[in-house]
Structure 1
Amino acid sequence: MTNAKPPQRSDEALLDLVQRKSFLFFWDGAHPVSFLARDRTGLESDAEDDLVSIGGSGFGVLAIVVAAARGFVTREAAAERLMAMVRFLERTPSYHGLFPHFMNGRTGATIPFGRKDDGGDLVETALLFQGLLCARAYFNADGVEQELRNHITWLWSEVEWSWHARDGRKALTWHWSPNNGFSIDVEVRGWNECLIAYVLAAAAPRYCIDPIVYHAGYAQSRTFLNGRTYYGLELPLGPDYGGPLFFAHYSFCGLDPRGLVDDYADYWRQNVQHTVINHTHCVLNPGGFKGYGPSSWGLTASDDPAGYMAHAPDLDNGVISPTAALSSFPYAPAEAMRALRHFHDDLGDWIFGRFGFVDAFSQTHGWRAETYLAIDQGPIVAMIENYRSGLLWRLFMSDPDVRRGLTRLRFRSPHLGGQT
């Protein structure tokens, strides 16, 4: 009698499994008091501290919406969980309506990200509201769903995006602190993961920015326009070789890049080119790293043997981050599925566990992360869903405020009734 290999899951069954497992990071692994997303947690046990991530919680909201739609949890349980999260956020300190990067999930107190970074974080707040606006669109029934929508709308209307462009600033400022003001003085300029912040700042119902802040700020960075060729592929925007792949994921968990065009780029083409350059680099493997190839690719910001690193083709030390390939399903589905098969079927005993894939691994270094990370698990759930059904793209792009913001910034999209 031979030991037969278990039958391989179908592609659809494997996608279900990975979405469900990654979602559990935000459900079973959520903070037990606030139900917000822990920044990271271990392979076998949850973090012992109370640190939660605001941007990670935004991705968690998206994951909960997907879970309700897929039947991983009931719609009622999802709405109740989100209501508890929103009520907790209402009781925490905010900074002109913005939230900090980290907070204490038990008390709501701000946990400084840095010595002067102890106040509002514009980009983390944008990632949170990308999720909350999708939830507001999805949960459209009466009862607790109506209550949830009302509370999200109140939080959304209180965010003073314009505060971060005050005193004539031509770009949004990333941080503001009640103790240090704007002294960090980091302007949000592109190309990077921050497009969502400008769209929401232009979409805000009360405290919106003037569109000139986008055109004269975000779009005028030295690394915004590119137009050069890498591995035979022209890259419209961004740094050399495109940078880490999360640039193509974070803003586009809600923003639908299909047919999305403005004065500067076609964002579908931008994200596809960025993804293919990243994939091609790993296939060609100029660094000679062990394990790289068509079935094992994907460079982005993640945990690393030395701590944390924004991996990219021009900053490559042999570390593969599963979220990079798996969150790229909309842009390179065949290549992403090949990577998923390899990660799960060949390496799964090493890198697949209770909340899906570990944050990163390196066969060159014989290393795997002993962590799951919120900002990497969340996009896996969201972007696989957008590949499978377009759900989050439809929800976000149907929001009247979002549509207003995109129109104010001169974007064109099929969702806005225009042709590209």
Structure 2
Amino acid sequence: MNNLPRKQVFLLLAVIAFWGCTSNETATKSPIQATGYPRHVELTWPAQEGADKYEIWVSSGDNNFSKRATIRDTLYMDFVNDLGNNLELNYRITSVEPTGETREIGSTKVLTKDLTDEQLIDMVQYYTFRYFWEGAEPNSGMARERIHIDGNYPQNDESVVTTGGTGFGIYGLLAGIDRGWITREEGADRFEKMVNFLAEADRFHGVWPHWLQGETGKVKAFSKKDDGGDLVESAFLMQGLLAVREYYKNGSEKEKTIAQKIDQLWKEMEWDWYTQGGQDVLYWHWSPNYAWDMNFPLEGYNECLITYILAAASPTHSVPASVYHKGWARSGDINTDVEAFGYKLTLKHNGAEKMGGPLFWAHYSYHGLNPKGLEDRYANYWQENKNHTLINRAWCIENKDGYKGYGEDLWGLTASYSVNGYAGHRPGRDLGVITPTAALSSMPYTPQESLKVLKNLYFNYGEKVFGRYGFYDALSPEADYYPERYLAIDQGPIVAMIENHRSGLGWKLFMGAPEIQDGLKKLEFSVNP
């Protein structure tokens, strides 16, 4: 990841052309590519043979250059809050050899400028998209489970890919094609690699595991007994793949082939197997070594609704409607009548009945499944998700524990890295850690409230929270905790749900699949977006 991929030059030039933030005359003459944003400048340059590190120098319109950084990467994001706003800056970059000898690589001029709200959202979405485009595991094309900017991978899992996180990221890649960040052909190449990998990777009754070794396609155990099929993560993956199928099914011959391969993978998923022989509930895991030992039935309400929708919709291994109504909906016991901060919840959020679970429950099943107008005998899912989000926000604003930074422009509790490991943050289990994906992925439900968080994070926290793949996973002003780490399952919802807010692309594609419409009817959903 230390060397800038060639494809990124195209992406940066596209952004430059759109915003006009860079001097085109300078950019064509210099090996340095520079893009100016409101509060930072991104610089990239080709790796230099023999270089041990690089020095970045800047001047504000004169020849008085000061050193900004010494790094080993070939991408540098210079947050220029200390220099002012709407700047004209000159950059010079030199390589430093192990002997200490320096060589100037080149210089360039760049402007920083204010952006509209839409352009700012576009910037964040684009940066987050790069996690799944540039940061992907190269052999499989799949999303890495995690990316640590410092390169410290405690489990040596840099090449481990996530099935669910890839499914989320697929919506980001489709958005990237639609928005011109990559070409349609580049997107097809990536999806072809991904689908071919998945066809050969370990599957268990057609269902993939939570993690795969990206270099081999072999299962990587998520825990001791979780070394087989993971129905929920595979549902997240297939939710994304079906959107690709719909995107490509009437395209070129290559694109049609990708769509056909996805259709085959879809038909090979044995949803009915995961009822343990016909019980009225789906089970999360099956292992070739431990069989059903984990014994985790999928009972609502949490993030798993999409699993039942797909299981009902399967053209080859579907489950009857009773599995949904008796299993997921607990024969009606899924319902409740709870109110917090003036907002009602009609579904019992497992283990968090009073104020709702972590906010990823309002995101994971809804990258393709459109909650607008989605209703069954148990809930109106748009209203449920919106109220869930507003309760989460209100808890942070009330801030009864007095955590530093919390407020209308810093809220959002969900599962993420935490000060002491990993935690499922939510009202009632608040550890003083804000996770950017919580508010940003809620943009369809709370557009203005989410935008306030985006602006606060970018303009006021800057380089502490924003890097090459967008906002880092978590932060705690209270604990002065700003880890430079990313997780696919948190980055994916940001780019997917922002795109649904902006264009509804993911919702249109997934809901356009005829089996999905049939499955929803089978479960007695009404759909009136």
Work out which of the residue numbers 133, 138, 141 in structure 2 matches 1:32: 138
- For the Cα contact (< 8 Å) 2:169–2:495, is it kept in 1? no
Mapped partners of 2:324, 2:440: distance in 1: 30
Larger Rg over CA atoms:
2
Mapped partners of 1:91, 1:81: distance in 2: 16
Q: Give, as a single letter, the amino acid of the residue that structure 2 aligns with 1:260.
A: L
1:295–1:75 Cα change, 3 Å: same
Once the two structures are TM-superposed, the CA of residue 226 in structure 1 deviates from its matched residue by: 2.5
State the partner residue of 2:184. Answer: 75
- Let me know the Cα RMSD of the aligned residues: 1.6
Which structure has more RCO (C-alpha within 8 Å, separation ≥ 6)? Answer: 1
1:408–1:14 Cα change, 3 Å: same
- For the Cα contact (< 8 Å) 1:34–1:106, is it kept in 2? yes
How many aligned residue pairs are there? 415
1:174-323 paired onto structure 2 within 5 Å: 174-220=284-330, 224-237=334-347, 238=349, 239-323=353-437
Using the TM superposition, name which of 170-179 and 214-223 deviates more. Answer: 214-223
Mapped partners of 1:64, 1:43: distance in 2: 22
1:14-413 paired onto structure 2 within 5 Å: 14-45=120-151, 49-139=158-248, 140-220=250-330, 224-237=334-347, 238=349, 239-413=353-527
Unaligned 5+ segments in structure 2 are 1-59, 61-81, 87-112
Mapped partners of 2:159, 2:226: distance in 1: 18
Using the TM superposition, name which of 235-244 and 293-302 deviates more. Answer: 235-244
Mapped partners of 2:135, 2:84: distance in 1: 35
Q: Give, as a single letter, the amino acid of the residue that structure 2 aligns with 1:230.
A: A
Unaligned 5+ segments in structure 1 are 416-420
Once the two structures are TM-superposed, the CA of residue 46 in structure 1 deviates from its matched residue by: 8.7
- For the Cα contact (< 8 Å) 1:191–1:223, is it kept in 2? no
- For the Cα contact (< 8 Å) 2:169–2:493, is it kept in 1? no
- For the Cα contact (< 8 Å) 1:244–1:300, is it kept in 2? yes
Per-residue CA deviation, residues 132-181 of structure 1 (Å, 9 max, x unaligned), is 00111112302211111011001000000000113231210000011111
Mapped partners of 2:176, 2:500: distance in 1: 13
Once the two structures are TM-superposed, the CA of residue 224 in structure 1 deviates from its matched residue by: 2.9
State the partner residue of 1:418. Answer: none
Mapped partners of 2:152, 2:178: distance in 1: 26
- For the Cα contact (< 8 Å) 1:190–1:223, is it kept in 2? no
Mapped partners of 1:4, 1:23: distance in 2: 28
- For the Cα contact (< 8 Å) 1:202–1:210, is it kept in 2? yes
Once the two structures are TM-superposed, the CA of residue 13 in structure 1 deviates from its matched residue by: 0.9
Mapped partners of 1:147, 1:33: distance in 2: 20
Mapped partners of 2:126, 2:443: distance in 1: 16
Per-residue CA deviation, residues 207-226 of structure 1 (Å, 9 max, x unaligned), is 00111000000111898323
1:282–1:55 Cα change, 3 Å: same
User: Does structure 1 residue 5 correspond to structure 2 residue 89?
Assistant: no
Mapped partners of 2:474, 2:332: distance in 1: 30
State the partner residue of 1:414. Answer: 528
1:3–1:34 Cα change, 3 Å: closer
Partner SS state of residue 330, structure 1: coil
Query: Scaled by the length of structure 2, what TM-score is found?
Result: 0.77
Mapped partners of 1:275, 1:326: distance in 2: 11
- For the Cα contact (< 8 Å) 2:368–2:511, is it kept in 1? yes
Per-residue CA deviation, residues 380-405 of structure 1 (Å, 9 max, x unaligned), is 00100111111111111110111111
Mapped partners of 2:244, 2:230: distance in 1: 21
- Report sequence identity in percent: 46
Q: Give, as a single letter, the amino acid of the residue that structure 1 aligns with 2:496.
A: A
Query: Scaled by the length of structure 1, what TM-score is found?
Result: 0.96
Q: Which has the higher helix share?
A: 1
Mapped partners of 1:221, 1:364: distance in 2: 43
Partner SS state of residue 346, structure 2: strand
